């Protein structure tokens, strides 16, 4: 297991569409373990997608349980999703998002309040997952990465909704 370098904007791989996972192999399991190590080593990291570490496969991991915004809500804990597809979503909320691939900025982004996702778990078993609140936001953000969409692409107004990230000492 290893902590992988995170690709930073404007790396062109971040704008590529990822290909589906064909099956769970030992190599794929190593990639997932490395993604999880990388996510947990990143301050405030609640999600990661394979493209962020240079792997153009449809893999995401989300864990909001330890975050101040997600730890108070109902959530699924550490969740790995292969080939996730958002089947339905509803509600509307404006949330402040950041990204490990765009560390200097955060932005106000409109997202659904809840999502219903069809995916495979890390063992290749089909799961249907309903998620709400901050976890739903994190899932939407990571699934966007699989389609080459960054949160910057969803900013309505650069002038009013994009912010330099504060540096904390």
CB 59 within 8 A of CB 84: no
- Report pLDDT digits (tens) over 71-85: 667 899 999 999 999
- Residue 142 is a catalytic residue: yes
Question: 85 by DSSP, 3-state: which?
Answer: strand
* Domains delineated in the chain: 12-164 (3.90.45.10)
Q: Is the pLDDT score of 169 beyond 80?
A: no
Residue 43: the pLDDT is: 81
Q: pTM for the full model?
A: 0.94
Q: Which residues contact 121 (CB under 8 A, 6 or more apart)?
A: 80, 81, 82, 127
For the residues 127-155, what does the mean pLDDT come to? 97
Alpha helices in the chain (DSSP H): 26-41, 133-146, 158-161
Q: What would the mean pLDDT of 39-52 be, rounded to a whole number?
A: 93
**Which residues make Cβ contacts (< 8 Å) with residue 125, sequence separation at least 6?**
none
């Amino acid at each position: 297991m290893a902590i992988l370098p995170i690709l930073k904007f404007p790396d062109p791989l971040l704008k590529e569409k990822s290909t589906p996972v064909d099956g769970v192999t030992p190599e794929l399991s190593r990639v997932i373990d490395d993604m999880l190590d990388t996510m947990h080593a990143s301050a405030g990291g609640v999600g990661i997608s394979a493209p962020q570490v240079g792997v153009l496969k449809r893999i995401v991991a989300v864990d909001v349980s330890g975050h101040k915004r997600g730890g108070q809500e109902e959530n699924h804990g550490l969740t790995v999703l292969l080939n996730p597809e958002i089947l339905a979503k509803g509600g509307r909320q404006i949330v402040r998002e950041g990204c490990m691939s765009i560390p200097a900025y955060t932005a106000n982004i409109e997202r659904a309040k809840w999502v219903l996702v069809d995916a495979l778990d890390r063992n290749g078993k089909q799961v249907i997952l309903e998620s709400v609140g901050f976890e739903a936001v994190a899932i939407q953000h990571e699934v966007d990465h699989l389609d080459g969409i960054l949160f910057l692409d969803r900013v309505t107004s650069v002038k009013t909704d994009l912010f330099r990230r504060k540096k904390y000492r």
